[in-house]
Structure 1
């Protein structure tokens, strides 16, 4: 099992973050603009962990030495079934420098967009190093 998959399935956020390059770029399945940087990508992945229920990988595509890998998953978001794929590119040091997520069907993507949108203030605060508690209590994240 690939270390990325093992970290995600174990809910090991520290191990997952250790696999991210400083200059990683995260491309969302529901937002056009990509999100650059390790802090933001790690915060997005923690947010996804909070919104996905019954998350599981069902297939890995690519060999151990491949710099491009795909991880097919299934999950539920607010009662909607989501099928998706994490497409990863690894740099010369073996760290993830591109992280793209695709999901289907449309109803699942819409549920994911709404659930992640509700998390976005907390995600931003986490990425900027602010306390998530201050954000959820209504204080400024700055």
Structure 2
């Protein structure tokens, strides 16, 4: 099975989505409320892949001994700002990601990311609605 890191580094949206639990909750670094559900989370992550340029890279990975919690530290440039961030993943009993929390710094980079992702949101909403309609 492909890991989340491998899927993101390969920019493989289908592999990323396959790793998500149906009840996954995505907590954004720039939104107040978490986003629930696989369709919306997958659409958001596709938006992230569009926003993050080719210079995206994971620089460190930390995992607990049980393998259910991971922290993936990354760097990327968004709108000329260097973003330092971390993806915090939790895996459920079936090995699917049921919680994904992203944190970024510094504030100016978080603001650039918020603006870039805001521009993606109409497409994200369309993709999530379309996916929700075809799911059983």
Fold shared, TM-score > 0.5 on shorter chain = yes
Q: 1:36 corresponds to which residue?
A: 36
Return structure 1 stretches of 4+ with deviation > 4 angstroms: none
Measured after TM superposition, the shift of residue 64 of structure 1 is 6.7
The higher relative CO (CA closer than 8 Å, separation ≥ 6) is in: 2
Gaps in structure 1 of 5+ consecutive residues: 131-142
Aligned residues: CA RMSD:
1.3
SS, match of residue 100 in structure 2: strand
Q: 1:80 corresponds to which residue?
A: 81
Q: 1:48 corresponds to which residue?
A: 48
In the comparison of the two structures, how many residue pairs are matched?
Answer: 129
Tell me if 1:12 matches 2:12: yes
CA distance in 1, matches of 2:64, 2:12: 23
Gaps in structure 2 of 5+ consecutive residues: 132-136
Q: Deviations over 1:72-118 (max 9, x none)?
A: 00001111100000000000001000000000000100000000001
Measured after TM superposition, the shift of residue 61 of structure 1 is 0.4
> TM-score, length-normalised on structure 2?
0.91
Q: 1:97 corresponds to which residue?
A: 98
Measured after TM superposition, the shift of residue 63 of structure 1 is 4.6
Q: Which has the larger radius of gyration?
A: 1
Measured after TM superposition, the shift of residue 21 of structure 1 is 0.1
